Amino acid sequence: MATKAYAAQSAETPLAPFEIDRRTVGAHDVQIDILYCGVCHSDLHQARGEWGNTIYPCIPGHEIVGRITAVGDDVTKFKVGDIAGVGCMVDSCQHCPSCEDDLEQYCENGFTGTYNGHAFGQGENTYGGYSDRIVVKDDFVLKVSHSEEQLAAVAPLLCAGITTWSPLRHWGAGPGKKVGIVGIGGLGHMGIKLAHALGAHTVAFTTSESKKADALKLGADEVIVSKNEEAPARRRR
């Protein structure tokens, strides 16, 4: 289906309007009208070719929230009208030990990125969320239960959120544990909020004095301005 998007045609050219053709909904596919898509710094790296692997045209965007407009015949978990999210992956081999362990991000045959990824067996380029709609295999679509007003804020959870949530869960962040968050940017601000919400003693490290107030507001118990010589020294004693 003809879909409007924003694409970079080369590392040197800015994003510009571009039309793509989204695939017809297959038996296990979910078609989503995109309402919001976060801007992740990976999008900039990829669009500018800074990782050396960009396939052009490049349509970034892997923090997608939208409304389902069609589902395939074999889709049981979603229906038309549901709000759904799509993160960094849209497919994986689904038969290697990692995939069988629900760890598709470690797929031994390489997962398919939401953009700049190769579709299995087809070798085509995937296009991300800087577009009007996307068609994704149901196993890689997430249910979103937040209210309409919150959906813009839900989008960054799909990459910045999971990237910080995963290690916090892995290491059991919670009451009685101390968590240090280094750098209060796109991921860092999310890390502070999540660590605080989990009940851990949260220490934010920043080189910018100006971010101190924000870090405290986000839930940090302590903020250490790491450019300031005294603060780290105090902690070594």
Q: How far is the CB of 209 from Zn ion (least distance, A)?
A: 28
CB of 12 to Zn ion, least distance (A): 22
Distance of alpha carbon 10 from alpha carbon 161, whole angstroms: 29
Three-state DSSP at 5 gives strand
Question: Which CB, 40 or 223, lies closer to Zn ion?
Answer: 40
Q: How many helices (H) and strands (E) does the chain have?
A: 7, 12
**Cα(167)–Cα(171) distance, integer angstroms:** 6
Of the pair 45, 77, the CB lying nearest Zn ion is at: 45
Q: Is 107 in the site for Zn ion (CB under 5 A)?
A: yes
The DSSP secondary-structure symbol of 184 reads -
Contacts 24+ apart (CB under 8 A), 147-151: 148/83, 151/35, 151/36, 151/65, 151/83
Give CA–CA dist 17/6, Å, rounded: 5
Burial per residue of 186-214, b for 16 or more beta-carbon CB atoms within 10 angstroms, e otherwise: bbbbbbbbbbbebebbbbbbbeeeebbeb
Q: Of 23-31, 35-43, 136-144, 216-224, which segment contacts Zn ion by CB under 5 A?
A: 35-43
**Residue among 55 and 93 whose Cβ is closer to Zn ion:** 93
Q: What is the x/- site pattern for Zn ion, positions 71-100, by CB under 5 A?
A: ---------------------xx--x--x-
Nearest approach, Cβ of residue 184 and Zn ion (Å): 17
Shortest Å distance, C-beta 156 to Zn ion: 9
Q: Which is nearer to Zn ion, 92 or 200 (CB)?
A: 92
Q: Does 40 bind Zn ion (CB under 5 A)?
A: yes
Site map 130..159 versus Zn ion, x via CB under 5 A? -----------------------------x
Q: Which residue is nearest to Zn ion (CB)?
A: 40
Choose the stretch contacting Zn ion; rule: CB under 5 A; options: 105-113, 125-133, 143-151, 180-188.
Answer: 105-113
Nearer to Zn ion, 129 or 200 (CB): 129
Number of residues that bind Zn ion (CB under 5 A): 8
Which pair of tokens denotes residue 224?
């250490």
Residues that bind Zn ion (CB under 5 A): 40, 42, 92-93, 96, 99, 107, 159
